[in-house]
Structure 1
Amino acid sequence: MYFLQLVLKIAFYVTIGTVLSIAGVAIFFMSWEPDRSIYPVRGIDVSHHQGPINWANVATDDVAFVYMKASEGGDFQDRSFSANWSGAGEAGLARGAYHFFSLCRPGELQADNFLGVLPRGEAMLPPVLDIEFEGNCASRPAISDVHKEVSAFVAKVETATGHRVMLYAPGDAYETYLANQGLTRPLWVRSMWRSPDYAGDWTVWQFHQRGSVAGITGDVDLNVLAAGMTLDQLMR
C-alpha cells in the first residue's frame, strides 16, 4: 500500500510539473518581445479582420505606427481601409498602406487596384507589397514570372507616389522569389519569437501574430522598426 501511494504521489507531482511547464512555455511565447532598448519604435498591422478599432486607445498603448491593408489582387479593396486610415491619422499615428500580392494576377493590374485606394497628398510610410504564400492562390509561377510582375507593380506605384515600395515577405516566400533577385527595396520580415535570420538587412520586423493592443478586440500583428531607425526617416 505504501508503495502504491508513493507511485501515485510521484505521478501527481510529475503531472503538475508538466502542466506548469507547458503553461510557462505558453506564457513565454505569448508575451515575448524584442528588446525595447534596441527596438523602441513599435507598430501594428491591421485589416478588416480586426473589426472596428478605437484608434485613440491604440495610440495610448505604445503604438507609434500602423500599416493597414488597402487592397488585394486585381479587384479586392479592404472595406475597413478608409475608416482605419482616417482614425489612425486623427490619433496621430504614422500610417502606411499595404497590398496583398496575388501570384495569379498581373502586377500592373494590381498596382492600379492599390493606387485606386491609396490617399494622395498625405504624409505616409512607404507603400508595401505583401508577398506570401498563406492565403494566396494555388499557383506557384516561375521566379522569372513573379519577378516580372512584382517589378511591374513596384515601378507603377513608385512612379505614382514618388515613394520607394517596401516588400513584406516571410522566409519561405523570400527564399523562393526574392533572394538574390536584385529587388533592392526595403524589406519587412516576419519572424516569430526570435530575431530574423533569412535576411540581414531589414526595415520592419513582424515579431508576433497574436498580440494584444488597447482599442482592438482580438489578436493583432506586432512590429518594430530596425535598430536605430526612426519614423521620420520613412515618412514622406
Structure 2
Amino acid sequence: MADWRLAVGAVLAVGLAIGGHAAAVHWRPSPATYPLQGIDLGEQPPAVEWGSVRAAGADFAYLVATSGARGRDPGFEANWQALPDAGLRRGAVHLYSLCEDGAAQADAFNAVVPRTADALPATVDIDDRDGCDPPAPGPAATNALRTFVTRVETHTGKPVLLRLSRAVERRYGFSTALVRPLWLQGNFFRPGYAARPWRLWRASDMRRIDGVEGAVNWDVVAP
C-alpha cells in the first residue's frame, strides 16, 4: 500500500510540474493592466518571423546591436529593417562592459544604430558579463557610464533607458546616480530593487511564442 501511495504521489508531482511549466511558458501580464507589451532578444538570436511575433501580442521589439567597444551583432541590421513592415516598433540595445571605456562603447553603438524618428529610446544593458575584474563602485564607474549615456543621447536625440540587473544595481546604485528611465527584471513578480519606479519590466524570460525558436524575453511598459 505504501509503495502504491508513493507511486501515485510521484505521478501527481510530475503532473503538477508539467502543468506549472506549461502555464509559465505561456504566461504574460494582463494586457488590460499593461496595454503595451513586447519582446527583447539576446545576442545572435535565431531567425524570427516578425509577423507571428506581432500576432502573439507584441507591440515592440528590442534588439541587441552592439556589445562592449568592439562587438557587433551580425543580424541586427536585417531585423531592424524588418520590424516596421511587421507593424512593430523597434529599439536598440547595447550590452555595456563595466571594464571598457564608456566613450569607445558609445562610439561603437552610434556607428551601428541609425538615428531614426520612429526608434524607441536606446537601451544600455548593464550586468556582470565580461569575466573581467569590474571597477569598484564610485565616481569612475559612474562617470564612464554617464559618458556613454550622454554620447548616445546626443546621437539619438532621446533619453537612454538603463536596463539594470539586480546584482549591478545592488553594487553600483546606478539608478540613483543617473536619473534615466529604468528597465528592471523579475520573472512573474514586479521588481522593486532600484531607487525609482521602472518604466519597462522584463516580466518573463521563458515565454514561448510562435515565430521565435526557444524562449523569449517578454516585457511590458508601465501604464
TM-score (norm 1): 0.87
Query: Out of 13, 16, 28, which is 2:11 matched to?
Result: 16
Query: Out of 96, 103, 108, which is 2:103 matched to?
Result: 108
Gaps of 5+ in 1: 1-5, 228-236
AA partner of residue 11 (structure 1): L
1:137 aligns with 2:131: yes
Q: Which residue of 1 aligns with 2:209?
A: 213
Q: Which residue of 2 aligns with 1:149?
A: 144
Q: Which residue of 2 aligns with 1:94?
A: 89
User: How far apart in 1 are the matches of 2:174 and 2:67?
Assistant: 23
User: How far apart in 2 are the matches of 1:48 and 1:138?
Assistant: 19
8 Å Cα contact 1:42-1:225 kept in structure 2: yes
Over 3 Å counting, the alpha-carbon distance change for 1:132 and 1:82 in structure 2 is same
Q: Partner of 1:130: helix, strand, or coil?
A: strand
Q: Which residue of 2 aligns with 1:54?
A: 49
Q: Which residue of 1 aligns with 2:161?
A: 166
User: How far apart in 2 are the matches of 1:182 and 1:103?
Assistant: 15
Gaps of 5+ in 2: none
AA partner of residue 136 (structure 1): D
8 Å Cα contact 1:47-1:80 kept in structure 2: no
Query: Out of 201, 204, 215, which is 2:200 matched to?
Result: 204
Q: Partner of 1:193: helix, strand, or coil?
A: coil
Over 3 Å counting, the alpha-carbon distance change for 1:191 and 1:180 in structure 2 is closer
Q: Which residue of 2 aligns with 1:35?
A: 30
8 Å Cα contact 1:51-1:217 kept in structure 2: yes
Over 3 Å counting, the alpha-carbon distance change for 1:90 and 1:196 in structure 2 is same
Offset of residue 36 of structure 1: 2.5
Over 3 Å counting, the alpha-carbon distance change for 1:22 and 1:51 in structure 2 is closer
After superposition, give the CA deviation of every residue in 1:156-215 in whole Å (9 maximum; x if it has no partner). Answer: 111222211110012111121235642100000010121112134111100111222222
User: How far apart in 2 are the matches of 1:29 and 1:214?
Assistant: 15
Offset of residue 78 of structure 1: 0.6
After superposition, give the CA deviation of every residue in 1:73-96 in whole Å (9 maximum; x if it has no partner). Answer: 001111011011001122121111
Offset of residue 59 of structure 1: 1.8
User: How far apart in 1 are the matches of 2:73 and 2:28?
Assistant: 29
Over 3 Å counting, the alpha-carbon distance change for 1:218 and 1:89 in structure 2 is same
Over 3 Å counting, the alpha-carbon distance change for 1:179 and 1:101 in structure 2 is closer
AA partner of residue 74 (structure 2): R
User: How far apart in 1 are the matches of 2:54 and 2:19?
Assistant: 30
User: How far apart in 2 are the matches of 1:99 and 1:43?
Assistant: 18
8 Å Cα contact 2:25-2:208 kept in structure 1: no
TM-score (norm 2): 0.92
Q: Which residue of 1 aligns with 2:122?
A: 127
Over 3 Å counting, the alpha-carbon distance change for 1:180 and 1:82 in structure 2 is closer
Which has the higher Rg, Structure 1 or Structure 2?
A: 1
Report how many residues are paired.
Answer: 221
AA partner of residue 184 (structure 2): V
Write out aligned runs for 1:179-194 (5 A): 179=174, 181-194=176-189
Stretches of 4+ aligned residues off by more than 6 angstroms: none
